[in-house]
């Protein structure tokens, strides 16, 4: 059974997950990959655990063909919902039993059909599935945060090549989200405005790190990008919560996501990349005051990082990434891509 | 020129280093590697920048053969000493010009001679070079922290196969060190004892995460290990500062380092790995009170991580690592290696 353990020295959580079924000589994620039949292709629904959500015709039977997007539990989950939520604490060590959810979003029934080649409606359907799962998980009082992430390409950690992303519902708020929330809160309490809104309004003036502004979104290379061509997609109008977007709005989101990945893919020639969604933590059970602050100070966004540089000893030892490409150069390159 | 930029949203530093000479289609570190002559071999001293330190016979001329350990500036530095130390700040963004030092420690004149095969005295010489460079850098009031790290094997980010490690002297205290210092300080102010000493004394009682206790050192798999077989080497007796160790003590350190890497290497069959040294930050210019607290509460140590798992979207999006091997299992495996 996996465990969330809190490191008393470095003050951070890790997940110890022996259930990921990795053995000393088979650590790479790719070793999980079945090389034969793809369990995510249409018609192979029996090769996955039963679906938890799907988009398709209303007369379709669960776990049968005909779906456009399908969500299933991860076969090698980092966290599981059938574990009692339980906190343990000894003198120095804090532990949470591995309660949570870990699901796979099968983005399309077609095996060789990357996101940037899909029709806007198909990408929108994937975003609808993400929205619905976030809403579902946030009903659960034990869930504090839901992370959507995609690993595309082997170099980005993908185990199966069929387009899929993953969603993990956690009983804690992860450190990076907490940092973002804290920075936003501090700025908001002082200025009564959102930090990211304020930064973006300055950034739009200079324009040098802006890739594009379209369909209600700003595509931005952050000032302190950790990776080459790190790219954020942020709603122009302040909103803390991805899951409030309606289907019409998600069509615009889909269009910007497609265009941005097309730019990256054209310029960098099909790089492995990770996509993550940062949205507000679970506010359903928060106090009114906390809700007000987070709603006004957190700004949801997508982050895309292309995986062309290695994390090595320096990054591990310091927490500081070395990025050989300035965001100004990256923005310039991506802006000029011929779509 | 490189820059240290502070991220106002995620509250962390990154180094933007276009001087690392990586171009969009040549991002991997290995692309830097000269495939012809090895610039780190004995007799090729003219292929590196002039040495800043070396260990060898007293009558040896600088930059000529005969050395046992040689330290040279990195040809592709992340930070450079010939830049004015300068802090810039705009409304939201903080920046430090890329001042610092980035050197390479050529650990041995022999090309195919990994650390665990070397004689204890040869490893001790490498540790002496590290100690001397730390002492040298900490004379500089502009330097806040020195990190020693080694990337061994391509999978760990090594660009050249000749055994070498790197040392970076930074004008800031990195986040991970700051977290360690803060945790230690909080515990010390409350208990008047070192957090790591206290944890180790409990850990020795149970023994389940201890690999070995030898030569004045404890080899430990941390309770919240972020990586499979993450291994720490810590002095049994409290000490905050690696650079105070004399040559005799470093011989013991060398012996433990050799034994530990031998265990990892034998069990995991030659994995790529990173080694980092965490020692106290520059206290030369600190107040007496600060010095007292850090000296009593920080505990220097080596960290070794084997690079068998990938950092992917989940880790990037949360800051939480998923580790498929429990430290108890790892300690058990390493303890039983036949040396």
Burial of B55 (0-12, 13-18, 19+ CB in 10 A): middle
Tell me, yes or no, whether A162 and A43 share the same domain: yes
d(CA A329, nearest CA chain B) in Å? 10
Question: pLDDT confidence of A21, banded at 50, 70, 90?
Answer: low
Q: What is the tens place of the pLDDT at every residue in B89-109?
A: 888 999 999 999 999 999 999
Residue A13 has pLDDT above 70, yes or no: yes
Give the nearest partner residue to B93 out of A13, A223, A276, using CB atoms.
A223
**Mean per-residue pLDDT, B226-234:** 96
**CATH assignment of the domain containing B144:** 3.30.428.10
d(CA B36, nearest CA chain A) in Å? 23
- φ, ψ dihedrals at A222, nearest 5°: -60, 145
**What is the domain range of residue B59?**
3-170
Tell me, yes or no, whether B185 and B44 share the same domain: no
Tell me, yes or no, whether A143 and A255 share the same domain: no
Domain tally, chain A: 2
Tell me, yes or no, whether A187 and A159 share the same domain: no
| Longest Cα–Cα distance in chain A | 59
**Mean per-residue pLDDT, A329-337:** 96
**Secondary structure percentages of chain A, helix, strand, coil, to 5:** 35, 25, 45
Say whether A320 and B183 touch across the interface (CB within 8 A). no
Which residues in chain A have their CB less than 8 angstroms from residue B316's CB? 149, 274, 276, 303, 305
Give the position of tokens 């009983």.
Answer: A171
Distance CA B42, CA A140 (A): 64
Distance CA B187, CA B192 (A): 7
Complex confidence, ipTM: 0.90
Instruction: Work out the percent of chain A whose per-residue pLDDT is above 70.
Output: 94
Question: pLDDT confidence of B21, banded at 50, 70, 90?
Answer: low
**Mean per-residue pLDDT, B48-65:** 97
Q: Specify whether A164 is catalytic.
A: yes
Tell me, yes or no, whether B12 and B123 share the same domain: yes
Stretch 85-124 of chain A: residues touching chain B, C-beta under 8 Å = 91-93
Q: What is the tens place of the pLDDT at every residue in A65-76?
A: 999 999 999 988
Domain-ending residue, one of B144, B170, B196: B170
Size of interface A-B (CB pairs under 8 A): 283
Give the nearest partner residue to B313 out of A268, A274, A321, using CB atoms.
A274
Token pair belonging to A319: 């927490």
Tell me, yes or no, whether A120 and A136 share the same domain: yes
Which contacts of B43-51 are long-range, i.e. CB under 8 A and separated by 24 or more positions?
B45/B70, B48/B72, B48/B75, B48/B104, B48/B106, B49/B73, B49/B75
Which pLDDT value is given to residue A34? 46
Tell me, yes or no, whether B154 and B184 share the same domain: no
Stretch 251-270 of chain B: residues touching chain A, C-beta under 8 Å = 267-269
Distance CA B225, CA B323 (A): 7
Strand order, beta sheet including A273-278: A53-55, A69-73, A101-106, A164-170, A145-152, A273-278, A301-306, A231-235, A217-220, A210-214
Token pair belonging to A30: 């790719």
Stretch 43-72 of chain B: residues touching chain A, C-beta under 8 Å = none
Stretch 210-249 of chain A: residues touching chain B, C-beta under 8 Å = 222-226, 228
Say which of A102, A162, A164, A301 is annotated catalytic.
A164
Domain-ending residue, one of A104, A135, A170: A170
The mean of the pLDDT values for chain B is: 92
Tell me, yes or no, whether B17 and B119 share the same domain: yes
Say whether A12 and B91 touch across the interface (CB within 8 A). no
Tell me, yes or no, whether A140 and A238 share the same domain: no
Please tell me the pTM assigned to this model: 0.93
Tell me, yes or no, whether A137 and A188 share the same domain: no
Q: What is the tens place of the pLDDT at every residue in B261-276?
A: 999 999 999 899 999 9
B34 neighbors B111 (Cβ within 8 angstroms): no
Tell me, yes or no, whether B286 and B313 share the same domain: yes
Selected residue of A14, A313, A329 to mutate for chain B interface (largest B Cβ count, 10 A): A313
Domain-ending residue, one of B131, B146, B170: B170
Tell me, yes or no, whether A132 and A247 share the same domain: no
- φ, ψ dihedrals at A305, nearest 5°: -125, 130
Q: Of B36 and A303, which is predicted with more confidence? A: A303
Q: Of A26 and B308, which is predicted with more confidence? A: B308
């Amino acid at each position: 059974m996996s465990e969330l353990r809190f490191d008393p020295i470095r003050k951070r959580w890790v997940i110890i997950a022996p259930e990921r079924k990795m053995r000393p000589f088979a650590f790479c994620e790719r070793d999980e990959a079945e090389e034969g039949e793809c369990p995510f292709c249409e018609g192979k629904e029996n090769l996955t655990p039963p679906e938890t959500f799907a988009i398709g015709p209303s007369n379709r039977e669960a776990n049968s063909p005909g779906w456009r997007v399908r969500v299933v539990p991860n076969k090698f989950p980092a966290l599981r919902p059938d574990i009692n939520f339980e906190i343990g604490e000894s003198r120095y060590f804090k532990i949470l039993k591995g309660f949570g959810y870990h699901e796979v979003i099968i983005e399309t029934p077609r095996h060789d059909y990357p996101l940037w080649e899909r029709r806007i409606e198909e990408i929108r359907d994937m975003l609808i599935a993400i929205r619905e799962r976030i809403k579902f998980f946030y009903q659960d009082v034990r869930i504090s945060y839901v992370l959507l992430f995609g690993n595309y390409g082997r170099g980005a950690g993908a185990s199966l090549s069929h387009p899929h992303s993953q969603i993990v519902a956690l009983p804690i708020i992860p450190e990076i989200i907490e940092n973002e929330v804290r920075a936003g809160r501090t700025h908001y309490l002082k200025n009564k405005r959102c930090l990211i809104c304020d930064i973006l309004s300055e950034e739009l003036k200079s324009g040098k790190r802006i890739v594009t502004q379209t369909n209600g979104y700003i595509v931005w290379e952050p000032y302190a990008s950790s990776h080459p061509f790190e790219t954020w997609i942020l709603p122009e109008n302040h909103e803390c919560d991805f899951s409030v977007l309606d289907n019409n709005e998600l069509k615009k989101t889909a269009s910007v996501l497609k265009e941005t990945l097309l730019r990256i893919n054209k310029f960098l020639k099909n790089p492995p990349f990770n996509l993550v969604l940062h949205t507000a933590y679970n506010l359903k059970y928060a106090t009114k005051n906390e809700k007000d602050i987070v709603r006004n100070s957190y700004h949801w966004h997508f982050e895309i990082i292309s995986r062309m540089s290695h994390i090595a000893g320096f990054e591990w030892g310091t927490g500081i990434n070395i990025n050989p490409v300035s965001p100004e150069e990256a923005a310039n390159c991506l802006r000029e891509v011929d779509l």
